Structures are given as structure tokens and as C-alpha cells.
Amino acid sequence: MSKKNIVVLCGAISPERDVSINSGKSCLEALRVNFPDATLRVLDENAVPADLDPATDVIFPVIHGDYGEDGGIQRDLEARGFSYAGCGVAASELCIDKSKTKALWLANGIPTTRGVAFPRDRVPAAKVLIESLGEEIVVKPADKGSSVGLFLTKGEAELQAVLDGDLSASDLWLAEQRVYGRELTVGLLNGKAMGIVEICPKVGVYDFKNKYTKGSTEYKFPAAIDEAIAAKIRAGAERIFELCGCRDFSRVDVLLPEDGNFVYLEVNTMPGLTGTSLLPKSASCVGLDFAALAKAMIVPALERAGV
């Protein structure tokens, strides 16, 4: 179907390397239904392989966290003239920084949680954060994905212990008010919201372990929520896609409290594509199986390459 080679890039060096490799393998399998000659390259460094050629290769990057979601690989691909799937440099740089994303949303009336960003070499006192955000606070890296380095605290003592502890996972952190509600996510394809997925961890919260351990979390898709609220969530997600300058695909995470006043949490510009991943579940709600989703994700890059 294509005069170009489709090359899936995964791996690279980040805390999410193993997840990226699993995503890459799953993505390749799905792509080969429609593009049997697609190939996979596992990166052992944060660099685009020198032997790839923009004249013949179209890239499907499936690299989570550092280098993949922060605009790094996108910048390198553009510098060499590659057509590639997914968000560009500016949207990637924005969305990986949760504090900048929040500021943009608040300026444009998008409901989100209150938060305070801080560098790890200038950590605020727990008392100051509680005065601003309340007694229950979530502390997480402002520029990582997959729930890496997630802390849930209640009260000054617990919060101060986290702030005094190991914050080596990132140079930039975000403290947020904790909001209780149903955990939802919605995938977007070419700016259009797909189905809403509800995430139900069997124990605790949707952290790294629950996210990537099969059987530890139940998923309901489509989520059983009032259609009027669902329509508002989808519309807001589409507005976020536009505001953040996203392209091709992304995923937006949402919390829905009992009162119906939902808040958006973050944008994932490089969604997971493993067996437990959320974007394929969202796509299935609108009739797209994994193969059809993978095709829809790469087609815009092929079109940009003139195919």
C-alpha cells in the first residue's frame, strides 16, 4: 500500500524503555496487517539511526518518556527531513510539561486541578503547599509519564517526608490538589475524540505497577457515564487537542467526581500501545480494532511524505 518503508522506533534510554519496547512490538504486529513490510528498530541510544533515509523511510516513533514525549526525537527527525507519525516538536514539549499545560488550560477556561510546580533544588515547605492546595496532595514529576515517581500524601508530615526524600526521578516536580473521582481517559484521532475508557485499579491507584501489570486493573469501555457529561468530556478533549497544537493522535486523562464537575489532568502525546494500553480500548469504542487504529495513526505521516 505504500511506496515508503514504515519503520517503528522504540526503546531509547528512559525509565519507560521496557514499556516502549513492548509498545513497539505490539504496534508492529498491528501495522503488518495492512503494511506487511513494516519493520521495527529498538534504539539503544537517544538518537535516530544513521542508516535510516528520509527519502525511503517514514517513521512511527513509539518512545515513551524521555526523548519520545519531550520533543527530542521529533526535533531530530525533522532536522533530517523525515515524515513521522504523531505530534510535532512544539506540542510534545508543551504537553510533557504538566505545569505549562495546566497554565494554558486555565488561561482558556479548561477545568483542571490546582497545582504548584517546583524544581528539585528549590523544594517548597509542606506547610506552604498545603495552604495553597489543601491537606491531600499528589506529588509527581512535571515532565514524565506512566505514573513514574507518583506520591499521594495526606497531611503535613506525609508531604514533608516526600519532599525531603528521593526526588531524583526528575528535575521538575508538580504538587497538585488531590481530587477524588472516577479515572477516565479519552483517545483522540486526528483531533476527534473516540470512546471514553474508565480505569478501575483493583488495589490502590493507577500507578506504574497497576498500569503495566496484566490483571491488576479493570477497564470499562465505553465508560458507563451520563451521555451529556460524556459529550462535554469529549468536546473538552477536542478543544485541548487544538489548544496544545497536537497532531494525528493523543490521549487526554480526566477525573470525574460524583458531582459531575470533571477536571482534565494531562495530555499524552505518545500513548502506550501494549496489551494493557488505553488508546486501543478507546478506539474500539468507535469500531476500530488495533490494526485499523495503527493504520489510521500512520496514514497522515504517509500523506505528508507524499504517498
Is the pLDDT at 206 greater than 70, yes or no?
A: no
108 is catalytic: no
Catalytic residue among 23, 210, 268, 284: 268
Main-chain phi, psi angles of 151, to 5 degrees? -125, 135
Contact 265, 112 (CB under 8 A): yes
Q: Do 229 and 143 sit in the same domain of this protein?
A: no
212 is catalytic: yes
Residue that finishes a domain, picked among 156, 177, 198: 177
Q: How far apart are CA 248 and CA 246, in angstroms?
A: 7
Catalytic residue among 183, 248, 272, 284: 272
251 is catalytic: yes
pLDDT of residue 210: 58
Length of the chain: 307
Is the pLDDT at 130 greater than 50, yes or no?
A: yes
Quick check: is 245 in a domain?
A: yes
32 is catalytic: no
For residue 32, give the CATH number of its domain.
Answer: 3.40.50.20
284 is catalytic: no
| Other beta carbons within 10 Å of 143 | 23
Catalytic residue among 23, 26, 146, 250: 146
289 is catalytic: no
Catalytic residue among 70, 212, 247, 248: 212
Catalytic residue among 83, 93, 251, 264: 251
Average pLDDT of the residues in 233-257: 98
Is the pLDDT at 2 greater than 80, yes or no?
A: no
Q: Do 75 and 126 sit in the same domain of this protein?
A: no
Quick check: is 95 in a domain?
A: no
Quick check: is 15 in a domain?
A: yes
Q: Do 130 and 218 sit in the same domain of this protein?
A: no
Catalytic residue among 11, 16, 92, 145: 16
pLDDT of residue 1: 45
pLDDT of residue 26: 97
Is the pLDDT at 27 greater than 50, yes or no?
A: yes
When pLDDT is cut at 50, 70 and 90, the band that residue 217 belongs to is confident
Average pLDDT of the residues in 26-48: 97
pLDDT of residue 279: 97
pLDDT of residue 200: 93
pLDDT of residue 147: 60
The residue type found at 147 is: S
Note the pLDDT tens digit of each residue in 40-74.
999 999 999 999 999 999 999 999 988 999 999 99
Quick check: is 99 in a domain?
A: no
DSSP, collapsed to helix, strand or coil, labels residue 124 as coil
Quick check: is 104 in a domain?
A: no
pLDDT of residue 203: 72
Task: Give the single-character DSSP code of 218.
Answer: E
pLDDT of residue 148: 66
Q: Do 172 and 192 sit in the same domain of this protein?
A: no
Q: Do 82 and 135 sit in the same domain of this protein?
A: no
Q: Give residue 167's domain range.
A: 114-177
Q: How far apart are CA 175 and CA 178, in angstroms?
A: 9
258 is catalytic: no
pLDDT of residue 196: 98
Note the pLDDT tens digit of each residue in 72-122.
999 999 999 999 999 999 999 999 999 999 999 999 999 999 999 999 999
Contact 162, 222 (CB under 8 A): no
Angle between helices 17-31 and 290-304 (to 10 degrees): 90
Domain total in the chain: 3
Q: How far apart are CA 180 and CA 292, in angstroms?
A: 35
Residue that finishes a domain, picked among 150, 177, 204: 177
Contact 194, 187 (CB under 8 A): yes
pLDDT of residue 282: 98
Main-chain phi, psi angles of 254, to 5 degrees? -140, 145
Average pLDDT of the residues in 266-284: 92
pLDDT of residue 201: 84
Which cell numbers in the block locate residue 191? 483531533
Higher-pLDDT residue of 40 and 207 is 40
Catalytic residue among 266, 277, 282, 284: 266
Average pLDDT of the residues in 121-130: 96
Q: Do 148 and 205 sit in the same domain of this protein?
A: no
pLDDT of residue 143: 84
For residue 119, give the CATH number of its domain.
Answer: 3.30.1490.20
Which of 126, 118, 124, 121 has the alpha carbon at shortest distance from 142?
118
Q: How far apart are CA 5 and CA 27, in angstroms?
A: 15
DSSP, collapsed to helix, strand or coil, labels residue 39 as strand
Quick check: is 97 in a domain?
A: no
Which cell numbers in the block locate residue 140? 509527581
Q: Which residues are CB-contacts of 109 (< 8 A; sequence separation ≥ 6)?
A: none
- What count of Cα atoms within 13 Å lies in the side-chain half-sphere of residue 56? 6
146 is catalytic: yes
Q: How far apart are CA 211 and CA 200, in angstroms?
A: 10
Task: Give the single-character DSSP code of 112.
Answer: B
Is the pLDDT at 194 greater than 90, yes or no?
A: yes
Average pLDDT of the residues in 192-214: 78
Quick check: is 102 in a domain?
A: no
pLDDT of residue 276: 77
Q: Do 188 and 274 sit in the same domain of this protein?
A: yes
What is the chain's mean pLDDT, rounded?
A: 93
pLDDT of residue 94: 96
When pLDDT is cut at 50, 70 and 90, the band that residue 213 belongs to is low
